[in-house]
Amino acid sequence: MYCVIVGDIIKSREIEDDARAETMRRVKEVLERVNAHQRGIIMADFGLVRGDAFEGVLLTQICAAEITRTLIREIYRINGTLIRISSVFGELQTRVNDRNEANGPAFYKASADIDRMKAVKKSGLLQVSFDTDSVARPVVDSLLGLINAVFSGWTERQREIAFLMEEHGGSRRRVTDELGISAQAVGKQLQSMSYSAYDAAWRSLDALVVELDEAAISGAPARRDNFLTYFGLAERQFRLDNYKSAASLLRRALELCRTELGENSPELVNIYIRLAECSLELNARREARELAEAALEISRQGPEPGKNTKEILQKLREAGGGIE
Protein backbone atom coordinates (compact mmCIF):
# COMPACT_ATOMS: atom_id res chain seq x y z
CA MET A 1 0.00 0.00 0.00
CA TYR A 2 1.65 3.18 -1.24
CA CYS A 3 0.40 6.72 -1.68
CA VAL A 4 0.16 7.85 -5.29
CA ILE A 5 -0.58 11.50 -6.04
CA VAL A 6 -1.61 12.38 -9.59
CA GLY A 7 -2.72 15.77 -10.89
CA ASP A 8 -3.13 17.88 -13.97
CA ILE A 9 -3.56 21.52 -14.95
CA ILE A 10 -7.19 22.54 -15.46
CA LYS A 11 -7.85 24.11 -18.89
CA SER A 12 -4.17 23.95 -19.76
CA ARG A 13 -4.99 24.20 -23.45
CA GLU A 14 -6.40 27.67 -22.86
CA ILE A 15 -3.03 28.97 -21.67
CA GLU A 16 -1.55 31.11 -24.41
CA ASP A 17 1.45 29.62 -26.15
CA ASP A 18 3.85 32.33 -25.06
CA ALA A 19 2.85 31.78 -21.40
CA ARG A 20 2.70 27.97 -21.44
CA ALA A 21 6.44 27.34 -21.23
CA GLU A 22 6.82 29.80 -18.35
CA THR A 23 3.84 28.29 -16.50
CA MET A 24 5.14 24.74 -16.80
CA ARG A 25 8.64 25.84 -15.78
CA ARG A 26 7.25 27.33 -12.59
CA VAL A 27 5.06 24.26 -11.93
CA LYS A 28 8.19 22.12 -12.24
CA GLU A 29 9.91 24.35 -9.67
CA VAL A 30 6.99 23.82 -7.27
CA LEU A 31 7.28 20.05 -7.68
CA GLU A 32 11.02 20.19 -7.06
CA ARG A 33 10.45 22.17 -3.84
CA VAL A 34 7.97 19.51 -2.68
CA ASN A 35 10.57 16.83 -3.45
CA ALA A 36 13.15 18.68 -1.38
CA HIS A 37 10.82 19.29 1.57
CA GLN A 38 9.35 15.77 1.62
CA ARG A 39 12.55 13.93 0.67
CA GLY A 40 12.35 11.39 3.49
CA ILE A 41 9.05 9.84 2.39
CA ILE A 42 9.28 9.97 -1.40
CA MET A 43 9.76 6.77 -3.37
CA ALA A 44 9.39 8.37 -6.82
CA ASP A 45 10.00 12.12 -7.17
CA PHE A 46 7.17 14.42 -8.21
CA GLY A 47 7.57 15.62 -11.76
CA LEU A 48 5.76 16.49 -14.96
CA VAL A 49 4.38 13.74 -17.20
CA ARG A 50 2.43 13.90 -20.45
CA GLY A 51 2.93 17.65 -20.76
CA ASP A 52 0.42 19.18 -18.35
CA ALA A 53 0.15 16.42 -15.71
CA PHE A 54 2.28 15.48 -12.72
CA GLU A 55 2.82 12.40 -10.55
CA GLY A 56 4.68 11.26 -7.48
CA VAL A 57 4.78 8.23 -5.17
CA LEU A 58 5.09 8.34 -1.37
CA LEU A 59 5.91 5.59 1.10
CA THR A 60 3.20 6.90 3.44
CA GLN A 61 -0.11 8.70 3.18
CA ILE A 62 0.62 10.62 6.40
CA CYS A 63 1.64 13.78 4.52
CA ALA A 64 -0.70 13.45 1.53
CA ALA A 65 -3.09 16.16 2.75
CA GLU A 66 -0.20 18.53 3.47
CA ILE A 67 1.32 17.93 0.02
CA THR A 68 -2.05 18.34 -1.69
CA ARG A 69 -2.64 21.63 0.11
CA THR A 70 0.85 22.86 -0.80
CA LEU A 71 0.44 21.99 -4.49
CA ILE A 72 -2.94 23.74 -4.67
CA ARG A 73 -1.51 26.88 -3.06
CA GLU A 74 1.78 27.12 -4.88
CA ILE A 75 0.45 26.29 -8.34
CA TYR A 76 -2.49 28.69 -7.90
CA ARG A 77 0.08 31.40 -7.23
CA ILE A 78 1.23 30.89 -10.83
CA ASN A 79 -1.24 33.27 -12.45
CA GLY A 80 -4.27 31.66 -10.80
CA THR A 81 -3.51 28.19 -12.23
CA LEU A 82 -5.94 25.53 -10.98
CA ILE A 83 -5.29 21.81 -10.72
CA ARG A 84 -7.19 18.56 -10.41
CA ILE A 85 -5.49 16.27 -7.95
CA SER A 86 -6.11 12.74 -6.74
CA SER A 87 -4.37 11.08 -3.80
CA VAL A 88 -4.79 7.31 -3.57
CA PHE A 89 -3.55 4.91 -0.91
CA GLY A 90 -3.23 1.55 -2.64
CA GLU A 91 -1.09 -1.16 -4.17
CA LEU A 92 1.61 -0.96 -6.83
CA GLN A 93 2.71 -3.71 -9.18
CA THR A 94 5.99 -2.11 -10.21
CA ARG A 95 7.89 -0.39 -7.39
CA VAL A 96 10.70 1.75 -8.74
CA ASN A 97 12.04 5.24 -8.03
CA ASP A 98 11.12 6.36 -11.55
CA ARG A 99 7.55 7.69 -11.67
CA ASN A 100 7.38 6.91 -15.41
CA GLU A 101 7.85 3.19 -14.74
CA ALA A 102 5.81 2.72 -11.55
CA ASN A 103 2.33 1.31 -12.11
CA GLY A 104 -0.43 -0.67 -10.45
CA PRO A 105 -3.93 -0.37 -8.95
CA ALA A 106 -3.16 2.87 -7.07
CA PHE A 107 -2.15 4.61 -10.30
CA TYR A 108 -5.15 3.24 -12.16
CA LYS A 109 -7.50 4.47 -9.42
CA ALA A 110 -5.90 7.93 -9.32
CA SER A 111 -6.11 8.27 -13.11
CA ALA A 112 -9.76 7.16 -13.01
CA ASP A 113 -10.46 9.80 -10.34
CA ILE A 114 -8.92 12.49 -12.56
CA ASP A 115 -11.01 11.35 -15.54
CA ARG A 116 -14.16 11.32 -13.39
CA MET A 117 -13.55 14.88 -12.22
CA LYS A 118 -13.01 15.99 -15.82
CA ALA A 119 -16.28 14.37 -16.92
CA VAL A 120 -18.39 15.61 -14.01
CA LYS A 121 -17.03 19.17 -14.22
CA LYS A 122 -17.47 19.64 -10.50
CA SER A 123 -18.73 22.95 -9.21
CA GLY A 124 -16.29 25.18 -7.39
CA LEU A 125 -12.64 25.85 -8.10
CA LEU A 126 -11.00 22.93 -6.32
CA GLN A 127 -11.18 19.46 -7.83
CA VAL A 128 -9.68 17.13 -5.24
CA SER A 129 -10.10 13.42 -4.61
CA PHE A 130 -8.63 11.63 -1.60
CA ASP A 131 -8.98 7.85 -1.38
CA THR A 132 -7.83 6.34 1.94
CA ASP A 133 -9.04 2.80 1.12
CA SER A 134 -11.24 2.79 4.23
CA VAL A 135 -14.80 3.24 5.49
CA ALA A 136 -13.84 6.84 6.27
CA ARG A 137 -14.32 7.85 2.62
CA PRO A 138 -17.66 9.67 3.25
CA VAL A 139 -16.01 11.75 5.99
CA VAL A 140 -13.10 12.58 3.70
CA ASP A 141 -15.45 13.62 0.89
CA SER A 142 -17.40 15.85 3.28
CA LEU A 143 -14.21 17.60 4.41
CA LEU A 144 -13.13 18.15 0.82
CA GLY A 145 -16.59 19.49 -0.02
CA LEU A 146 -16.27 22.05 2.77
CA ILE A 147 -12.77 23.03 1.64
CA ASN A 148 -13.96 23.51 -1.94
CA ALA A 149 -17.01 25.54 -0.93
CA VAL A 150 -15.01 27.95 1.25
CA PHE A 151 -12.13 28.33 -1.21
CA SER A 152 -14.48 28.98 -4.14
CA GLY A 153 -16.19 31.84 -2.29
CA TRP A 154 -13.03 33.84 -1.68
CA THR A 155 -11.86 36.92 -3.50
CA GLU A 156 -8.33 37.00 -4.87
CA ARG A 157 -7.27 39.15 -1.91
CA GLN A 158 -8.73 36.64 0.53
CA ARG A 159 -6.88 33.78 -1.18
CA GLU A 160 -3.68 35.77 -0.84
CA ILE A 161 -4.30 36.15 2.89
CA ALA A 162 -5.19 32.46 3.27
CA PHE A 163 -2.07 31.32 1.45
CA LEU A 164 0.13 33.57 3.58
CA MET A 165 -1.50 32.18 6.72
CA GLU A 166 -0.65 28.66 5.52
CA GLU A 167 2.86 29.61 4.53
CA HIS A 168 3.61 31.29 7.85
CA GLY A 169 2.08 28.60 10.06
CA GLY A 170 -0.95 30.66 11.03
CA SER A 171 1.03 33.70 12.22
CA ARG A 172 -1.19 36.74 11.72
CA ARG A 173 1.68 39.04 12.62
CA ARG A 174 3.79 37.81 9.73
CA VAL A 175 0.83 38.19 7.39
CA THR A 176 0.25 41.78 8.49
CA ASP A 177 3.96 42.57 8.10
CA GLU A 178 4.08 41.13 4.59
CA LEU A 179 0.87 42.80 3.38
CA GLY A 180 1.42 46.06 5.21
CA ILE A 181 -2.07 46.15 6.71
CA SER A 182 -3.31 46.18 10.29
CA ALA A 183 -3.87 43.07 12.38
CA GLN A 184 -7.49 44.17 12.78
CA ALA A 185 -7.97 44.20 9.00
CA VAL A 186 -6.48 40.72 8.67
CA GLY A 187 -8.67 39.44 11.50
CA LYS A 188 -11.84 40.81 9.86
CA GLN A 189 -10.92 39.20 6.56
CA LEU A 190 -10.19 35.84 8.16
CA GLN A 191 -13.53 35.91 9.93
CA SER A 192 -15.54 36.92 6.86
CA MET A 193 -13.87 34.24 4.70
CA SER A 194 -14.41 31.43 7.26
CA TYR A 195 -10.70 30.68 7.23
CA SER A 196 -10.83 28.84 10.55
CA ALA A 197 -13.32 26.32 9.09
CA TYR A 198 -11.16 25.87 5.99
CA ASP A 199 -7.99 25.34 8.00
CA ALA A 200 -9.75 23.01 10.46
CA ALA A 201 -11.02 20.86 7.59
CA TRP A 202 -7.49 20.38 6.23
CA ARG A 203 -6.18 19.60 9.71
CA SER A 204 -9.00 17.12 10.32
CA LEU A 205 -8.16 15.37 7.06
CA ASP A 206 -4.51 15.19 8.09
CA ALA A 207 -5.41 13.83 11.55
CA LEU A 208 -7.84 11.28 10.12
CA VAL A 209 -5.12 9.73 7.98
CA VAL A 210 -2.85 9.38 11.02
CA GLU A 211 -5.65 7.79 13.03
CA LEU A 212 -6.29 5.25 10.26
CA ASP A 213 -2.69 4.07 10.44
CA GLU A 214 -2.72 3.99 14.24
CA ALA A 215 -5.88 1.88 14.14
CA ALA A 216 -4.27 -0.42 11.57
CA ILE A 217 -1.56 -1.53 14.00
CA SER A 218 -4.20 -3.00 16.33
CA GLY A 219 -6.52 -4.00 13.51
CA ALA A 220 -6.37 -6.46 10.63
CA PRO A 221 -3.10 -8.44 10.37
CA ALA A 222 -2.68 -7.45 6.71
CA ARG A 223 -2.32 -3.81 7.76
CA ARG A 224 -0.74 -4.41 11.16
CA ASP A 225 2.14 -6.37 9.67
CA ASN A 226 2.82 -3.99 6.77
CA PHE A 227 6.06 -2.02 7.01
CA LEU A 228 4.47 1.04 5.36
CA THR A 229 2.06 1.46 8.27
CA TYR A 230 4.93 1.63 10.75
CA PHE A 231 6.96 3.87 8.45
CA GLY A 232 4.08 6.34 8.22
CA LEU A 233 3.63 6.52 11.98
CA ALA A 234 7.38 6.88 12.43
CA GLU A 235 7.38 9.79 10.00
CA ARG A 236 4.70 11.48 12.08
CA GLN A 237 6.81 11.12 15.24
CA PHE A 238 9.92 12.29 13.40
CA ARG A 239 8.18 15.50 12.35
CA LEU A 240 7.08 16.06 15.92
CA ASP A 241 10.74 15.72 17.00
CA ASN A 242 9.94 12.54 18.92
CA TYR A 243 13.07 10.82 17.65
CA LYS A 244 13.14 7.97 20.14
CA SER A 245 9.58 6.93 19.30
CA ALA A 246 10.28 7.37 15.58
CA ALA A 247 13.37 5.16 15.81
CA SER A 248 11.41 2.39 17.53
CA LEU A 249 8.73 2.41 14.82
CA LEU A 250 11.35 2.57 12.08
CA ARG A 251 13.13 -0.49 13.42
CA ARG A 252 9.86 -2.42 13.21
CA ALA A 253 9.35 -1.10 9.68
CA LEU A 254 12.88 -2.19 8.80
CA GLU A 255 12.28 -5.70 10.11
CA LEU A 256 8.99 -6.07 8.22
CA CYS A 257 10.38 -4.59 5.00
CA ARG A 258 13.27 -7.06 4.98
CA THR A 259 10.80 -9.92 5.46
CA GLU A 260 8.27 -8.66 2.91
CA LEU A 261 10.53 -7.39 0.15
CA GLY A 262 14.02 -8.75 0.79
CA GLU A 263 17.36 -7.49 2.04
CA ASN A 264 18.04 -5.29 -1.01
CA SER A 265 14.64 -3.66 -1.46
CA PRO A 266 14.92 0.02 -2.52
CA GLU A 267 12.34 0.94 0.14
CA LEU A 268 14.93 0.05 2.76
CA VAL A 269 16.95 3.10 1.71
CA ASN A 270 14.34 5.52 3.06
CA ILE A 271 14.02 3.57 6.31
CA TYR A 272 17.78 3.38 6.85
CA ILE A 273 18.17 7.10 6.17
CA ARG A 274 15.37 8.13 8.51
CA LEU A 275 16.84 5.88 11.18
CA ALA A 276 20.24 7.47 10.58
CA GLU A 277 18.74 10.93 11.00
CA CYS A 278 17.08 9.83 14.25
CA SER A 279 20.43 8.49 15.44
CA LEU A 280 22.09 11.81 14.71
CA GLU A 281 19.42 13.64 16.69
CA LEU A 282 19.98 11.19 19.56
CA ASN A 283 23.78 11.73 19.34
CA ALA A 284 24.46 8.15 18.19
CA ARG A 285 26.87 9.13 15.42
CA ARG A 286 28.46 5.72 14.89
CA GLU A 287 25.05 4.12 14.46
CA ALA A 288 24.04 6.90 12.07
CA ARG A 289 27.12 6.25 9.97
CA GLU A 290 26.45 2.49 9.83
CA LEU A 291 22.82 3.05 8.81
CA ALA A 292 23.76 5.55 6.13
CA GLU A 293 26.36 3.16 4.74
CA ALA A 294 23.71 0.41 4.61
CA ALA A 295 21.45 2.76 2.62
CA LEU A 296 24.27 3.62 0.26
CA GLU A 297 25.15 -0.06 -0.28
CA ILE A 298 21.58 -0.83 -1.38
CA SER A 299 21.60 2.21 -3.67
CA ARG A 300 24.78 0.94 -5.34
CA GLN A 301 23.08 -2.36 -6.17
CA GLY A 302 20.14 -0.74 -7.92
CA PRO A 303 19.49 2.34 -10.05
CA GLU A 304 21.45 5.54 -9.51
CA PRO A 305 20.37 7.03 -6.14
CA GLY A 306 17.79 9.77 -6.52
CA LYS A 307 18.62 13.41 -5.91
CA ASN A 308 16.95 13.38 -2.49
CA THR A 309 18.88 10.31 -1.38
CA LYS A 310 22.14 11.91 -2.42
CA GLU A 311 21.32 15.08 -0.48
CA ILE A 312 20.52 13.17 2.70
CA LEU A 313 23.63 11.03 2.43
CA GLN A 314 25.70 14.19 2.03
CA LYS A 315 24.08 15.62 5.16
CA LEU A 316 24.95 12.44 7.05
CA ARG A 317 28.51 12.52 5.74
CA GLU A 318 28.93 16.02 7.08
CA ALA A 319 27.32 15.27 10.43
CA GLY A 320 28.53 11.73 11.09
CA GLY A 321 31.80 11.55 9.20
CA GLY A 322 33.41 8.52 7.65
CA ILE A 323 30.72 7.83 5.01
CA GLU A 324 32.23 7.22 1.58
Count CB neighbours of 241 within 10 A: 9
Q: Is residue 209 part of a domain?
A: no
pTM of the model: 0.84
Residues 6+ apart with CB under 8 A from 185: 176
Does residue 112 share a domain with residue 11? yes
Q: Residue 324's closest CA among 277, 289, 274?
A: 289
Which pLDDT belongs to residue 242? Answer: 95
Per-residue confidence (pLDDT) for residue 12, from 0 to 100: 76
Does residue 20 carry a pLDDT above 60?
Answer: yes
Lowest mean pLDDT among 67-81, 146-160, 255-269: 255-269
177 lies in a domain?
no
The reply to whether 184 falls in a domain is: no
Residue 201 confidence (pLDDT) above 90: yes
Q: What does DSSP assign to residue 103?
A: B
Domain that residue 74 falls in: 2-135
Please name the residue ranges forming H helices in the chain.
17-37, 64-76, 105-120, 137-152, 156-167, 172-179, 183-192, 195-217, 221-224, 227-239, 243-261, 267-281, 285-301, 307-320
Is pLDDT above 80 for 278? yes
Q: How many domains does the chain have?
A: 2
C-alpha span between 107 and 6 (Å, rounded): 8
Does any domain span residue 26? yes
- By CB atoms closer than 10 A (0-12, 13-18, 19+), residue 300 is exposed
Q: What CATH number does the domain containing 233 carry?
A: 1.25.40.10
Cβ burial 204-236 (10 Å sphere, 16+ → b, else e)? bbbebbbebbeebeeeeeebeebbbbbbbbbbb
Residues counted in the chain: 324
- Residues 88-126: b if buried by 16+ CB within 10 A, e if exposed: bbbbbeebbbebeebebebbebbbebbeebeeeebeebb
Could you tell me if 230 and 131 lie in one domain? no
Give the pLDDT mean for 242-265: 92
Let me know if residue 308 belongs to a domain.
Answer: yes
Could you tell me what percent of the chain has a pLDDT over 90?
41
